[in-house]
Structure 1
């Protein structure tokens, strides 16, 4: 378990509570061991005819008293030991979630959401079980097992040695099976991640599935993934399914030896009838520690495999992070410069942008036009350091953005993405995005995004739930909510990725009017394939295959009669 360091701090922090819990558990085990002694005394007295009803009542009261004490102590050890596992679960899940949020875009390009969900649910649960019930099973296997053997030896040492003859076989089997379990649990968890992602993807796209009448196709995909998961589990069951019966077999083999050999000792009165009954009771108690060894192996291997999977994510360093000497950044003027910028996506055959040399004065508006795949969105990603440039550099107010604190840099930029994303909450919650703002500011942001009148048409206004990913809203409404979110932030730099791509002509005109007003007070960069979105910009560049092929104002580009002029002519008559 090379990933055990992930949970060590929780044991250190709660070591006193864990110690108390284990002591309570051990006391319960000791009290449990005294019950067969009481039974022995009662049987011996009955055999000798030396006990009356009052005596039997005393023995019964002793057993009830021991059971009552065990009940109270069981509450405390469960509260402390199982409670510790819940603390580990909470801390590990929060740490995993927090770390995933720090990881860079390339990580999420390669990992599926379903895989991450499986880590945060099933893997965390396996670790919790290994910690909580693992401590219980380990304590019982060691303490209760040793104590039971001690009481058995006290009755008769030779009978104890005979009863323990199958034990070495159990140790060898546990060691061999444990390694196989670890490998198989790792593969089971991997297939569970695949299944989780397939289900998530299918349900998220359920409207598309229904629109194309592909329910049976999705069901077939689900059956394939589910069968793979079942296949891996059956491979595991072949191991665990033989392991536990073997444990029971060797335990019953010990019982057979005791009945045969111990019965002879009782017949020849080398041990009393009470000793014989007590010895069998102790042997039955020993069955649980022996089975606990198997259960513990199961829990540890499952938890270890899951902990290794979690560690693989927690040990992943974000590709984009603050430099060791990163400088803080206060409010900027908004001057932006691209200096011979080149960038290629991983495994891409050609650069996404190439030799971009560009300066945007503070307070100016830059328009970016070009066909799909020309690199418009990539330039915006590079400016916010969603990805880092491969060659060259980007400056804001003369500072290389890679030398600045990442949080400070992004705090100066409001970004309206091409694909608006809404969370399952109300309209107000999606606009404020966790910020505490007064209602007047909220209304003003909605008005500037040409959204306020639309919101007023909903029965609940700003408190209208938007559903998963804004399912109850149109594409244009979602686009304007995201625009209002950016306007509410009031950052000195505003990036707009196709801001009118999903709205009608009238709403587009309203949004463009808002952007033109913002252009007087912010540095605005607009990427779009629609000419009206950028025609008013101080400077417009045309991208083609990641290179700047045209640059100038609207009038200059129209005179140039290149891509821009042709696009304007085509869109004019659409």
Structure 2
């Protein structure tokens, strides 16, 4: 069990940016790369070896090291190929179901396991394919890597989203279309046989012929049932695959968006917009299917109507045109209310999220009546809009039914007029064909109304689908940073701001240097840190790490080398251990070491379950100081080259503050600390004073205190 746990931990280990690299030409023959490329191709992700760049060595000695090297290669490949991967664990009998395609280990050999329509195939390093059965499945390590197809880097429109969604399972789509076509052809038998019964069999009393056509109709019904079952099962499979693929792509897109994007939307509203993408793709797929099925049935049935009585067919077509025009009018009215309904729904979701996340503040202020009044007012508006939309939908349905009845009346009148030219059997056959024709056209019209009504939903999701991603193929790997940071004449202003928040700031940090930034609230300190992290883009000037512009570097790889505690950092629901390691490949010993450095180890030992003590959402069970030390431990567990702390020790007492400061001073890391407390900044190599977005003073603590300047004024307020 200990060996299995060690292998699992090594399998999870990510590739560190400074791991040794090999020649890029070796990538094409690397067994891990070949296995990953096979899986990506099976998922419709087109990549080749040139996209992956050079990989770390695949064989570093003993088996455990080879496992770690494979995990490192997969981590590197995922970043280079710009796809998401995750570790998963195989369940018993997985090969009999649909686990998706994945990369696994068979012994020490990385293999691709591909899901095909008839079962799983294993592709070895030598390219040999084997069908997966129970014995072969038992030879695979239970920990595997699965991959997810991302949205294209380019902005997506509605058609692009539909193409992306349908590409996840073209086999099921083909079965659906074939089943629909076969059902439409079988549907032709009903009017043909109905006409034959009344024109040929009933007048002659041909009971043998009646038995024959009854058997034919029964066979057609069984065939139609079979095709309907195949169609329904394929639609169910397609919908399941679509939900999984699109939802994963939405999350990937959200995680790749720049932090500035999220400032424009409230959390609840953005969550509703993101969920709308999955709804949009599912509804677009359903609408497309309905329109195709309805169109096929309508065309086939109309052709038969023309064969029986072209005058009645043209009259029926006129009624259908009027029906479609009426449906279009209903669609326009429905879209207006749907847009209002979606906007109000997003605002309502945002407000509910705010109230739920701030329930303690509501109760402290005694504002529960106001919260209920505000929610009920918005919710009542949403109910009114929902009712209006439903009335329009029912009105469209009633209008279509009325047009159907009207044509039936006209058809009977025309039959009475053309009674000498049209037999009873032909009229009955025509009437049956028209019923199918009108049903198909009604389905098509409903699909048109639904498609037109999706416009407001697409408008809601458009900002996410068209936003420029933070990470794209143009960004380069920064490698291992040394800790040298330079800001050169950097200015930044938020939209609609009257003045810059950061104004022509130039500063530099050398490797291992401890720099403190102080200033009054609103001086631009936290914004300066956001610029250093790449959360905001300077309007003027540049930020560089080791002489390279931050705008050209891959921000994800860079941030993995940073330890960051923001001013309003939040803990995650989960255990203390989960919050320290943040899903990283760390052992409990690593978590304890980070907790010791943050001065939190004694507190954890006093907790009921130690590292496994649960932290609730909002961390209400921890004190302010414990929260901050837990965030510091999370930042330190990475052993970062650069450490950014924004008011990270403001809630600590003097003893805890001294412990953390002493632990940080022993680290060989570049530190930039934003703080107000004198005890936090006294030991800094340099103290930078900011005011109104500018650097107004700089120097060591003693020199600044000896000068009657802004820093001395700030210090006097604390001393007094």
Tell which deviates more after alignment, 231-240 or 526-535: 231-240
C-alpha contact (below 8 Å) 1:365/1:539 kept by paired residues: yes
| 1:271 and 2:419 correspond | no
Compared CA separation, residues 450 and 271, structure 1 to 2 (3 A): same
Q: Which residue of 2 aligns with 1:516?
A: 665
Equivalent of 2:431, from 269, 275, 280?
280
* Aligned partner of residue 166 in structure 1, secondary structure: helix
The answer for the alignment partner of 1:385 in structure 2 is 534
| Structure with higher RCO (Cα < 8 A, 6+ apart) | 1
- Corresponding position of 1:543: 690
Q: 1:317 to 1:2 in 2, by over 3 A?
A: closer
- Aligned with 1:219 (options 362, 372, 388): 372
CA distance in 2 between partners of 1:159 and 1:403 (Å): 69
Asked if 1 retains the 8 angstrom alpha-carbon contact of 2:295 and 2:441, the reply is no
Secondary structure at the counterpart of residue 468 of structure 1: coil
TM value normalised by structure 2: 0.71
1:281-300 equivalent positions in 2, closer than 5 A: 281-300=432-451
Question: What secondary structure is seen at the aligned counterpart in 1 of 2:551?
Answer: helix
Structure 1 residue aligned with 2:228: 74
Q: Where does residue 141 of structure 2 map in the other structure?
A: none
Structure 2 residue aligned with 1:554:
701
Report the counterpart of residue 453 of structure 2 in structure 1.
302
Corresponding residue for 1:445? 594
What is residue 184 of structure 2 aligned with on the other side?
29
Q: What is aligned with 1:366? A: 515
Residues 46 and 341 of structure 1, relative CA distance in 2, 3 Å threshold: closer
1:120 counterpart (259, 274, 277): 274
281-290 vs 40-49, greater mean Cα deviation: 40-49
- CA distance in 2 between counterparts of 1:121 and 1:13 reads 19
Query: Tell me, what secondary structure is at the counterpart of 1:98?
Result: helix
Partner Cα separation in structure 2 for residue 358 and residue 160 of structure 1: 81
Residue 57 of structure 1: how far off its partner (Å): 6.2
Tell me the distance in 1 between the aligned counterparts of 2:548 and 2:299.
69
Contact 2:323 2:400 in 1 (8 A): yes
CA distance in 1, matches of 2:505, 2:431: 84
- Give the deviation of 1:488 after TM superposition: 0.8
| Aligned counterparts of 1:247 and 1:288: Cα–Cα separation in 2 | 10
Aligned-partner SS, 2:499? coil
Task: Count residues in correspondence.
Answer: 565
Distance in 2 (CA, whole Å) between partners of 1:493 and 1:201 is: 34
Alpha-carbon separation, structure 2, partners of 1:535 and 1:161: 92
Structure 1 distance, partners of 2:415, 2:544, is 87
Match of 1:195 in 2: 348
| Alpha-carbon separation, structure 2, partners of 1:402 and 1:159 | 69
Q: Which moved more, 1:283-292 or 1:403-412?
A: 403-412
**Aligned partner (choices 286, 307, 322) of residue 169 of structure 1:** 322
Report the Cα distance in structure 1 between the residues aligned to 2:157 and 2:557, rounded to whole angstroms: 37
Tell me how far apart the structure 1 counterparts of residues 696 and 343 of structure 2 sit (CA, whole Å). 47
> Is the Cα contact below 8 Å between 1:81 and 1:135 reproduced in 2?
no
Please, which of 467, 491, 498 is the counterpart of residue 316 of structure 1? 467
Q: Higher helix fraction: Structure 1 or Structure 2?
A: 1
Is the Cα–Cα contact under 8 Å of residues 425 and 465 in structure 1 kept in the other structure? yes
**1:142 maps to which residue?**
295
- Name whichever of 80-89 and 240-249 sits farther off: 80-89
Q: Could you tell me which runs of 5 or more consecutive residues in structure 2 were left unpaired when the two chains were aligned.
A: 1-155
- Uncovered stretches (5+) of structure 1, i.e. residues with no partner: none
User: Does the 8 Å contact 1:181/1:239 carry over to 2?
Assistant: yes
Once the two structures are TM-superposed, the CA of residue 22 in structure 1 deviates from its matched residue by 1.1
- Is the deviation greater in 57-66 or in 106-115? 57-66
Partner of residue 680, structure 2: 533
For the residue of structure 2 that corresponds to 1:489, the secondary structure is coil
Residue 505 to residue 180, structure 1, CA distance change in 2 (3 Å): same
> Is residue 482–residue 511 contact of structure 2 (8 Å, CA) maintained in 1?
yes
Query: For 1:416-441, what per-residue CA distance to the aligned partner results, in whole angstroms no more than 9, with x for missing partners?
Result: 11112122332222221221112211
Q: d(CA) in 2 for partners of 1:17 and 1:323? A: 32
| Structure 1 residue 528 displacement after superposition | 0.7
CA contact (8 A) 1:26 1:139 kept: no
Structure showing greater Rg: 1
Q: Hey, what's the Cα distance between the residues in 1 that align with 2:230 and 2:471?
A: 45
